[in-house]
Amino acid sequence: RTIFSDSPRSKTDAYRDAPLPISDAATISAPHMHARCLELLLPQLVRPNARSLDVGSGSGYLTVAFALFGGTAYGIEHTQALTDLAKTNVK
């Protein structure tokens, strides 16, 4: 998670099971939350031509995780700062 957060805490706290601050007073969810989400969606994510939508994608962390299972992942965000952060992170 270190590369998905622009917080000074990201280097020291990235691998703790706790939310991590990002831009615009938002956070990346704790790793156990992402793991549970991926676990529940796994049957859908591995289908041929799968598509996923990450609403409130924040830093793009979970959006990238969706994409790693194959298919196409989309993320949407409500602030320009978070949209810009996600675009930078997923390149």
CA distances from 46 to 12, 42, 54, 55, 73 (A): 33, 6, 16, 19, 12
Q: Could you give the residue numbers annotated as active site? A: 29
CA distances from 33 to 72, 80, 88 (A): 21, 25, 23
What are 56's two structure tokens? 């409130």
